[in-house]
Structure 1
Amino acid sequence: MILFITIFFSSCDKKTEYKEVEKDKGVFLSGKIIPDSHFLGDQKCKECHQDEFKKWKGSHHDKAMQIADSISVLADFNNKKFTSQGVTSRFFKKGKEFYVNTDGPDGKNHDYKIIYVFGLTPLQQYIVQFPDGHYQCLRTAWDSVKNKWFDLYPDFKVVHSEWLHWSRGGLNWNNMCSDCHSTNVRKNYDEETHSYNTKFAIINVNCEACHGSGKQHVTDVEKMGEKYVSDGSFQMTTETGPKELVDQCARCHMRREQFSEAFNFEGTMLDHYYPQLLEERLYQADGQILDEDYVYGSFTQSKMYQNDVTCTNCHDAHTLKLKFDGNKLCAQCHIPEKYDTPKHHFHEQNTESSKCINCHMPGRFYMGNDFRRDHSFRVPRPDLSVKYGTPNACAGCHKDKDDVWAAKNFTKLFGEVDSIHYSEKLAPGITMQPNGHVGLIELMNDTHQPEIVRASATKVLSNYNAQNFVEEYITLLNDDSALVRGASVDVLSTINSTDYTSYFLPLLEDPKRSIRVKAFYGLAGLSESEVPEVYKDSYSKVKKEFFLHLKTNADFVGARIKKGDYYIKKGNNEEAIKNYENALAIDEINNQIRINLATLYYNGKQYAKAEETFKEVIRQEPQFGPVYYSLALMYAELNRVDDAIIQLKKAVKIMPENIRVYYNLGLLYDKKQEYENAEKIIVSGLKKEATNEGLLYVLAYVYSKSEQKEKAKNIVYQLIDLYPNNQQYRSFLNQL
């Protein structure tokens, strides 16, 4: 299975010789980069570990990345043409070298030399070199099963100016692939020049990528001979605990954010990365895979993980293949007489339908033809599919049936569900059901639930207005789970208040780097002089970790935005603008950045720039309703009422479900004393949401000003019935 798209670089790195040092006291790690000379290569490992080497040789790890040559390249480059989404690519040779003619970053076709190849089956990708150290992965790949060229994203048109174009950030090897496809990678990105000098010790995922650099190990073996005793410095050994092994594999088998400059085997996973949580658009509402989530986020939801089943219980550590075929794999733990029988699965024995994985590990295709299974190992729940639109294995196989049929027949065969699964509380929250927050609060406080589920519930709860749950979040800052602490800090950091930032201070000494860095960001509203003396040393150390984190990820739009947001919290509008402009420079058609930048211009009284920036969004995306709304609010604050009304009228047409548009347009008509227009637009909004408090109040206010006091009284009576504890409405009635 191909995990990421990846590529190679020269390893002749002239870094200062690495010196072994004692770890800093407390939780702070040295952060030292391991020199390439400490990685001796698989041939050295083979001298003593021939069986392991033999298994590894030819595996997906071995073939994670290779130099393009007549042996490594599987695809047909005999002047073959492939057309998709209006772009024709031609694959050909010049002597012994491989080339593609395809559209480049300027929208025109050019010849590009293939430098590296990625992977084996079910697909192989090809990488070309661009200026300034950029290496890019082609969008067209080779199907090594069907032996044909194909588009990784056949239904998704991308133009040359977009970040997702193959020649830009979305398919850039340096930041999207290298860390997991080669050994001892240092990205070495320079933000000022937008260039890379990426280095690695070994081109592929060799023995030392997983077990750690071999120099000291070989030295000790040669010195001690048969008396050799392991010093415990190696990773992923027979002594590694089940959950620790999952964390070590997770480094590459998860979707995540990076927090260290380079992975150097110090500390734990959360000292280097923080995983993507279960959120909308990335996971299904019940936690099943949706986007490319890899494995960690799924597997850590499972009962298997909770009961210390680990990766190597099913997968051979070196070949990466399954240890057994068919249901024998599951029969290692699950009694065949009980589970591998029609009495359990209700399908004909020894068929595809009777395989455990097809009910408990349904999957999806990624990258066009790469089928990956969900590792959360769950019981199919067609009843949840009916409620929340989540997939289930039953309807997934019975294509001619729907979820209602599947739910009915599941109950007929297995009876009513007699236990509560976390997905029954997670799904209502993710899909924003009216009382969905109740289940989320229960999940995030239930220490018997998987950590990633608790952390995800913590993050998702913020959709119900995090300000309403500040006390709950503050409590979770002391949770035993680092994932939950991290999610709590993330949410509290988005609230525009410094009332509780003192609660972040102890987290500057959290044992996990990722949590410390998150806490520092949350403390941005606190000036350095306000930091208590007892935390000043830790604050200073984490400040370095925070800015190194930003520097490491500066080739991602998100990191540049985060830096801008940090300065917004600091009250430094000028630096915030600079970083948002930098973000736009590497993703020039990202209009969410542009809208935020326009707001920053406005806050800095750069009104002309703000207006032009909003208008640029409109030129690029004329059907994007929020931009008309934002521009209208700016016009209103500048007292350009007529201009504001024009923009809000456009916003109403594009996003008629947005109640705030009706509310603000009604206020503007009232300001112009156009009471009839005000009444008309507010009534239109009330047809969408009849009990909306803001709309009812504005309507009553408009009636009172236009000498329609009886109508005004009727509306106020409604408000009093709906909100009896609001004394403002009773005072309003008395005035009328």
Structure 2
Amino acid sequence: MHQLKLKYSSLLGILFLFLLSCQTEKKETYKAIPKSEERPIFSSTKQIPDAHFLGDKKCKECHENQFEKWEGSHHDKSMDIATRETILADFKGEKFFSQGVHSRFFEKNGEFFANTEGPDGKNHDYKIEYVFGITPLQQYIVKFPDGHYQCLRTAWDSKKNIWFDLYPDFKVVHSEWLHWSRGGLNWNNMCADCHSTNVRKNYDQETHSYDTKFAIINVSCEACHGPGKQHVSDVATQGDNYRNTGTMQMTLETKPKELVDQCARCHMRREQISEKFNFEGTLLDHYYPQLITSPIYHADGQILDEDYVYGSFVQSKMYHNNVTCTNCHDAHTLERKFEGNKLCTQCHIKETYDTEKHHFHKNGTEGALCINCHMPGKFYMGNDFRRDHSFRIPRPDLSVKYGTPNACTGCHKDKDDTWAEAKFIEQHGKPDYTHFSELLAPGITNAPNAEASYRQLAKDTTQPEIARASAVIGLGAYRTQATVKELLSFLNDDSAMVRASTVDALNEINRPEYLNYFIPLLKDPKRVVRVKAFNALGSVKESQIPDDYLELYKKVAVEFETYLKITSDFVGGRVNRANYLIKQGDLKGGIKYYESALSIDPINNIVRTNLANLYYRNREFDKAEKAFKTIIEQEPAYGATYYSYALLLAELKRNKEAIVQMELATKYMSENTRVYYNLSLLYDGIQNYTMAEDALIRGLKIAPNEENLLYALAYLYQKNGQLDKAKNVTMKLVQLYPNNTQYYNFLQQLNQQ
């Protein structure tokens, strides 16, 4: 199945954080994060005028030392106008070939161009307008119609001084959303918010156009510290008596976790909630982080896809013991404060940890470096090596169980995980502490104890809130009464992240009796929780809202509409609006927005599958059939499409055609027993009892005790007068499911025939 590819990052040249713990106790414990301090329920959504940002030269007047450190940093060079001085690549006619695409880079009349494949599949000349980053790579941005700016897929390796493909092993066709000329590498929605200061995306869905603005082109002093106008005025009027009135951000008074949250705005894979970031409220008033799910993370929470550090760091003991970004990084150069193990021995006792008795590697070698065991990493965007910031102890035992990576075999590539586990036990003994990954991994890998593990982790308030929130999302897949009761209790959790994920989980279950639990969340202190609660209340009309919540409901309705608007240039944003309209009973409106989602990603077959099923529900059978045929043409090995298409054909009484499609479904999703059940019904419908029996027997070879298959087979035998066979199968049902009186009664009926 074509996957709904999640956002690729164009956040280049930002140095990622290497943060270490001050605690080394055996048991992995985490301090519960208390409920947010009382704040106004509705933080302001006002836009800060560009004139309130005075520019870096103004900051330099009083903060020359800090300015000199910042100048030339990755923040300073996050974005710039394309000139010979800012462009690092040669642009002297170099040619580059990758994934079937020929590109050429050249200079003409003092301007810089790339000749490469465009959205129509043909080569064109594109003028370079902006540059992104400095090292280890630099990207180039071109202007498209309607205010779109696009980042070229071919970038400049500023260490090797060569052109290279950001995704050399990934073929992308020109009509796909991930093509550089389309949504996947669009500057306006993928990059701008974090590469410039005071950004307004200004997207118009009706025209699919942008009018993106910013106050300052790069990550300036004021991008982190806030607009300087009031600060400069306060300094001028207060003189030596100056006191921060709260207008400045990221100061020496900022608490460690607050500082991490403020950095996280850009060092985090996330969903945007508010239209404008104006420094008011907290992180969860503006953004919601990507939780620990597959395929973004490995099953134990280690990095897999890009997570931009925050999602890893908040898993760590270091974060929960108030280690913050600036403990390891200079706040202005962004460089590490020390190289080698000296960085770690700021807190960890050198004589205990920086020794061969601890790391079992010869001092002075790569294996003796703390970061290589506790911060393994991988390359992203071709040549950008980033380390995992969850600072975990290697766990090869979990690698053996769940296939997760470990630092040991990451270096000792000639060895396997079993060797690593044995070596770890030999050197350190069996782990005598519990890490949250031992409860998370079973759920993500669908192990037999998945539900129980998720429940245990979700309830444990000593564990990181991102891990607990991720477990809650996992629990949403289960419908047992006990689990749902547990989920409802998390709506009052101290963690806003957990409350938000609980709403998402229950929203998926979508049972009317839960609605009364969501209404009180309309006054939650965090905008992200309010917005998610409003979405969950989608099937409720305004007239059904209690009078004492009606004013709140109307206010949150505005926040929810803003959220849908700000995400409407993404497929997911349009799908969210479609699903909300469907909850409201507007099926045609839902179909319209699913069609709209396909208009910006025409080969997204997750969306097309849902749309086909909506056409089916709306009895637009011709459109549904056309959609299924399109999916089959684009992805002929995706079995679920054949299954859904077969059900449609059966609805249209085209049973023979339906059988052809259902047989294909058994080929491409052979482990799904429901396919065999429906195939049997189709054969039965054309009175081909031999093939109906064959379909059920094929399914039972995969799942011998599958209840529905056994009952269907017993009924088929009874229907065709094969009573002995029917009795044998029914007796098995009675033995397997003794509490189901239906099977006992059916057996009695057979005995009387």
Report if TM-score (shorter chain) is over 0.5: yes
Which one of 329, 332, 337 corresponds to residue 343 of structure 2?
Answer: 329
2:634 corresponds to: 620
**Structure-1 residue corresponding to 2:90:** 76
Map residues 103-502 of structure 1 onto 2, 5 A cutoff.
103-465=117-479, 469-502=483-516
Asked if 2 retains the 8 angstrom alpha-carbon contact of 1:5 and 1:137, the reply is no
Distance 2:646 2:482 in 1: 29
The runs of 5 or more residues in structure 1 that have no matched partner are 8-23
Contact 2:10 2:185 in 1 (8 A): no
**Identity, % of aligned pairs?**
65
SS at match of 1:390: coil
Given that residues 116 and 123 in structure 2 are in contact (C-alpha distance below 8 angstroms), is that contact kept between their aligned partners in structure 1? yes
2:104 pairs with 1:90: yes
Q: Note the C-alpha offset of 1:619.
A: 1.8
Q: Supply the AA of the counterpart residue of 1:449.
A: Q
Alpha-carbon separation, structure 1, partners of 2:378 and 2:58: 39
SS at match of 2:125: strand
Q: Give, in whole Å, the separation in 2 of the partners of 1:366 and 1:185.
A: 26
SS in 2 for 1:99: strand
Partner Cα separation in structure 2 for residue 501 and residue 225 of structure 1: 55
- TM-score with structure 2 setting the length: 0.94
C-alpha separation between the residues in 2 aligned to 1:545 and 1:606?
Answer: 34
Question: Which range moved further: 478-487 or 689-698?
Answer: 689-698
How far residue 467 of structure 1 moved from its aligned partner, in angstroms, is: 7.2
Is 1:588 the counterpart of 2:602? The answer is: yes
Would the alpha carbon gap of residues 499 and 108 (structure 1) be closer, same or farther in structure 2, given more than 3 Å must change? same
Say which SS state the counterpart of residue 731 (structure 2) adopts.
helix
Say yes or no: does 1:676 pair with 2:690.
yes
| CA shift for structure 1 position 660 | 1.1
* Bigger Cα displacement from structure 2, 590-599 vs 509-518: 590-599
Identify if the C-alpha distance between structure 1 residues 252 and 333 changes in structure 2 by more than 3 Å, giving closer, same or farther.
same
Name the SS for the 2:607 alignment partner.
helix
Secondary structure at the counterpart of residue 674 of structure 2: helix
| Contact preservation (8 Å) 1:466, 1:495 | no
Mapped contact 1:4–1:180 kept (Cα < 8 A): no
Q: Deviations over 1:253-286 (max 9, x none)?
A: 0100000001110100000000000001010000
Superposed, 1:637-656 pairs within 5 Å as 637-656=651-670
Corresponding position: 1:548 with 2:562: yes
Q: Is contact 1:432-1:463 (8 Å) kept?
A: no
- What do residues 397-417 of structure 1 show as CA deviations (whole Å, max 9, x unaligned)? 001111111111111111111
- Residue 469 of structure 1 and its aligned partner are, at CA, apart by 2.3
CA shift at 1:471, angstroms?
Answer: 1.0
Alignment TM-score, normalising by the size of structure 1: 0.96
Per-residue CA deviations over 1:555-597 (Å, capped at 9, x if unaligned) read: 0000100000001111110110111011011001111111111
Asked if the contact 2:230–2:247 (Cα under 8 Å) also holds between the matched residues in 1, the reply is no
Contact 2:184 2:190 in 1 (8 A): yes
Q: Return the alpha-carbon distance in structure 1 between the equivalents of residues 445 and 178 of structure 2.
A: 27
Q: Aligned to 1:477, what secondary structure does the other structure show?
A: helix
Given that 2:197 and 2:215 are in contact with CA atoms closer than 8 Å, whether structure 1 keeps it comes out as: yes
Contact map agreement 1:6 1:137 (CA 8 A) in 2 = no
1:299 shift after superposition: 0.3
Per the TM alignment, residue 527 of structure 1 is displaced from its structure 2 partner at its CA by: 1.2
Distance of aligned partners of 1:208 and 1:25 in 2 relative to their CA distance in 1, 3 Å threshold: closer
User: More deviation in 492-501 or 93-102?
Assistant: 492-501
Q: How many Å separate the matches in 2 of 1:713 and 1:29? A: 68
Aligned partners of 1:691, 1:3: CA distance in 2, in Å? 47
- Asked if the contact 2:309/2:389 (under 8 Å) is kept, the reply is yes
1:25-75 deviation per Cα after TM superposition (whole angstroms, max 9, x unaligned):
940122001010000000000000011101100000000001111111111
Which is worse superposed, 669-678 or 386-395? 669-678
Question: What amino acid is aligned across from residue 77 of structure 2 in structure 1?
Answer: K
Q: In structure 1, give the amino acid aligned to 2:96.
A: F
Deviation at 1:464, TM superposition (A): 3.7
State the alpha-carbon separation in 2 of the partners of residues 628 and 468 from structure 1. 35
Alignment partners' CA distance in 1, 2:217 and 2:82? 12
- State the 1:642 CA deviation: 2.0
Which letter does structure 2 place at the counterpart of 1:641? N
Contact 2:9 2:190 in 1 (8 A): no
Q: Which has the higher contact order (CA 8 A, sep 6+)?
A: 2
- Residue 557 (str. 1) matches residue 571 (str. 2): yes
Query: Structure 1 residue aligned with 2:614, among 594, 600, 607?
Result: 600
Change (3 A) 1:90 1:467: farther
Question: Aligned residue for 2:10?
Answer: 4
SS of the equivalent of 1:112 reads strand
Match of 1:494, SS state, is helix
**Partners in 2 of 1:714 and 1:244 — Cα distance?**
67
Counterpart-to-counterpart distance in 1, 2:557 and 2:115? 46
Q: 1:13 aligns to what? A: none
Residue 635 of structure 1 and its aligned partner are, at CA, apart by 1.9
In 2, are the aligned partners of 1:6 and 1:178 still within 8 Å (CA)? no
Contact map agreement 1:459 1:488 (CA 8 A) in 2: yes
Name whichever of 433-442 and 126-135 sits farther off: 433-442
Secondary structure of 1:499's partner? Answer: helix
The AA in structure 1 aligned to 2:399 is S
Query: Which residue of structure 2 lines up, in the alignment, with residue 566 of structure 1?
Result: 580
Task: Kindly provide the amino acid, as one letter, of the partner of residue 277 in structure 2.
Answer: F
CA distance in 2, matches of 1:98, 1:234: 39
Q: For 1:145, give the aligned amino acid.
A: K
Deviations 1:415-434 (A, max 9, x none): 11111111111101100011
Checking the alignment, whether the CA contact within 8 Å between 1:498 and 1:526 is kept in structure 2 is no
Aligned pairs for 1:687-698 within 5 A: 687-698=701-712
Give me the whole-angstrom Cα distance separating, in 2, the residues matched to 1:586 and 1:656.
33
| Residue 529 (str. 1) matches residue 535 (str. 2) | no
Assess, with a 3 A threshold, how the Cα gap between structure 1 residues 466 and 86 changes in structure 2: closer, same or farther.
farther
Tell me the distance in 2 between the aligned counterparts of 1:521 and 1:529: 16
CA distance in 1, matches of 2:133, 2:564: 30
The one-letter amino acid of 2:111's match is E
Taking structure 1 as reference, are residues 314 and 587 closer, same or farther at Cα in structure 2, changes over 3 Å only? same
Alignment match, 1:12: none
Query: 2:5 corresponds to which residue?
Result: none
Aligned to 1:154, the other structure's residue is in SS state coil
Task: State the Cα deviation string for residues 357-410 of structure 1 (Å, max 9, x = none).
Answer: 000000010000000000000000011111111000000000111111111111
- Whether the aligned pair in 1 keeps the contact of 2:39 and 2:525 (CA below 8 Å) is no
Q: Give 1:508's aligned residue.
A: 522
Whole-Å Cα distance in 2 between the matches of residues 29 and 134 of structure 1? 31
Question: 1:671 Cα deviation (Å)?
Answer: 2.5
Whether the 8 Å CA contact 2:78–2:219 is kept in 1: the answer is yes
Say whether residues 1:710 and 2:728 are aligned partners.
Answer: no
Q: Indicate the residue corresponding to 1:52 in structure 2.
A: 66
1:441 is paired with a residue whose SS is helix
Q: Separation in 2 of the partners of 1:497 and 1:613?
A: 30
* CA distance in 2: counterparts of 1:635 and 1:663, whole angstroms: 16
| Residue identity matched to 1:485 | R
More displaced 10-residue stretch of structure 1: 631-640 or 120-129: 631-640
